[in-house]
Copies of this chain bind each other. A is one copy, B any other.
Amino acid sequence: MKKFIISGFLVLICFTGAWAADKTPTVLSNKEAIDLVQTHADYVWTLVAAALVFFMQAGFAMVETGFTRAKNAINIMMKNMMDFAMGSLAFWAVGFGLMFGVSKTGWFGTSGFFLSDFKPGGDPWVLAFWMFQVVFAATAATIVSGAMAERTKFVGYLIYSVVISLLIYPVFGSWAWGGLYKGGGWLEHLGFIDFAGSTVVHSVGGWASLAGTLVLGPRIGKYMKDGTIKPILGHNIPLAALGVFILWLGWFGFNPGSTTAANKDIAMIFVNTNLAAAAGATLAMITAWIKFGKPDAGMTLNGALAGLVAITSPCASVSPLSAIIIGAIAGVIVVLAVLFFDRIRIDDPVGAISVHGVCGAWGTLSAGIFNIGGTSLKIIGVQLLGIAACFLWVFPTAFLLFKLIDVTIGLRVSPEEELEGLDFTEHGGTAYPDFEISHAGGMGSTAGFGSLMGGTASEKMLRKPAEQT
């Protein structure tokens, strides 16, 4: 009975006299047949991994809505859905060609737009590869929605999300991943190591977040004129935690899937990914515990993500013990970075700049330091060059983009709209119409994310939840 449905369709399709694509020749040598089975395994693995990475969109959506307020929950969902939807179309039309097309200069590709490298009847690998790459592009794009949450005009965000998927991400990507067989990018020619994208994906998203946050300014009520810093609490910590679990899962596609081949290398990449995340969560929890006196949930969740971001670059080229060290350091860094950005009044509601920008840079550097084949000043120098190149390309272009949006259609909603909540003003809805929304809600920790650290005693009383038995 096996596969008769498919066979039936293939028969029918052949009867129409067309689409004889990728048919197996009637006689294959054993060697060719073995290669074909391996190729089939490569397709399955690469595409299953792509599905897992796609699911990270849900993870980001849950983390971002969990760490922000109820009145902006629809808006966050719409941004996360639409940056993937519109980003997919932009990456299909232009981004993929810029990133992976033939590159004569080493600075961007110039072929393969609109998936034109694929011809019906030709080798469909370009489609599998596109599928894997589009979910990476979307990851870079969606990181920014968290940092710019609760105050950005929806239409402005849509424009940004198209431009990053179409231009900013692919151009940097072509430098590091453009492909030696197609001319290649200048960074990969130098030997830059960024296996699954600590820099290519996460720092790109992180530095674009920084630009967006600076152009937008902080949320109303976050930084007081008298110098006090008001925490603004996330409204649903279980959803945020679910998001982190989903992201951790998705990373098992993100890192080992970057082999784009079914081989033995994926085992160490899985293990390194898991251990770095575990160490990141653990050290972030401990760091928060020391600094705040309590094991803060928001910091711990971000610690797991910090470890994952950091191991993304070196996952295929360091030992499991090194992975633990890299993740642990990321867990400490992320707590300090979140506090640092809050102190200098850069309002990043979910900690995206710290998690993706800073820990992406750390991970990329660590790939040089902990390289299983040995390190050298040259290797570390190239890693630092790549980190710098990313910042110098992404931050100015993203800043310019956000400024352009700001002075034309406007990047930020009005203060009235911000106070009212973007769900109602931007989307005409409310995320939780059946529930009573608390007026005392939305106040919290220095770090935000739903914890209560750092507030004054009176604030703590105010935030005390209703007693129940």
Contacts and interface: CB of A to CB of B under 8 A. Distances in A.
A44 B262 CA distance: 6
B252 A54 contact: yes
Interface stretch (A208-216, A397-405, A406-414, A450-458): A450-458
B16 A374 contact: yes
A304 B81 contact: yes
A124 B268 contact: yes
Contacts of A62: 238, 242
Contact of A442 (B241, B421, B434, B436): B434
A466 B450 contact: no
A347 interface: no
A1 B182 contact: yes
A260 B120 CA distance: 21
A228 interface: no
Given A65-B238, A270-B47, A452-B424, A39 B264 contact: yes
A73 B238 contact: yes
A439 B466 contact: yes
A118 interface: yes
A78 interface: yes
B282 A249 contact: no
Given A62-B242, A450-B433, A256 B47 contact: yes
A259 B7 CA distance: 9
A358 interface: no
Interface string A281-306: 11001000000111111101100100
A317 interface: yes
A154 B300 CA distance: 14
B465 A430 contact: yes
A326 to B, nearest CB: 14
B304 A85 contact: yes
A82 interface: yes
A284 to B, nearest CB: 10
A41 B452 CA distance: 48
A78 B281 CA distance: 10
A210 to B, nearest CB: 25
A369 interface: no
A295 B180 CA distance: 43
Contact of A77 (B6, B74, B297): B297
A88 interface: yes
Chain A, interface residues (CB within 8 Å), range: 35 or more
Contacts of A316: 9
A187 to B, nearest CB: 11
Interface stretch (A27-35, A334-342, A348-356, A385-393): A27-35
Q: Which of A237, A373, A441 has the most CB of B within 10 A?
A: A237
A164 interface: no
A221 interface: yes
Interface string A154-168: 100000000000000
Nearest to A17: B373
A172 interface: no
A77 B275 contact: no
A70 to B, nearest CB: 4
A125 B428 contact: no
Interface string A232-273: 011111110110111011001100101111111111101100
A194 to B, nearest CB: 9
B55 A245 contact: yes
A437 B241 CA distance: 20
Contacts of A235: 432-435
Interface in A196-235: 220-221, 233-235
Interface string A111-146: 000110110100111111111001000000000000
Nearest to A2: B125
A184 interface: yes
Contacts of A81: 241, 244-245, 281, 300-301, 304
Given A9-B193, A238-B239, A428-B453, 10 more contacts: A1-B117, A12-B188, A40-B263, A71-B465, A81-B244, A237-B429, A295-B426, A430-B450, A433-B450, A442-B468
Q: Would you list the 9 A-B pairs with minimal beta carbon distance, nearest first?
A: A18-B373, A58-B245, A434-B441, A77-B241, A128-B267, A88-B278, A70-B434, A127-B267, A436-B436
12 contacts: A9-B193, A16-B373, A18-B371, A41-B41, A41-B44, A54-B248, A82-B281, A125-B267, A236-B238, A292-B428, A424-B465, A435-B437
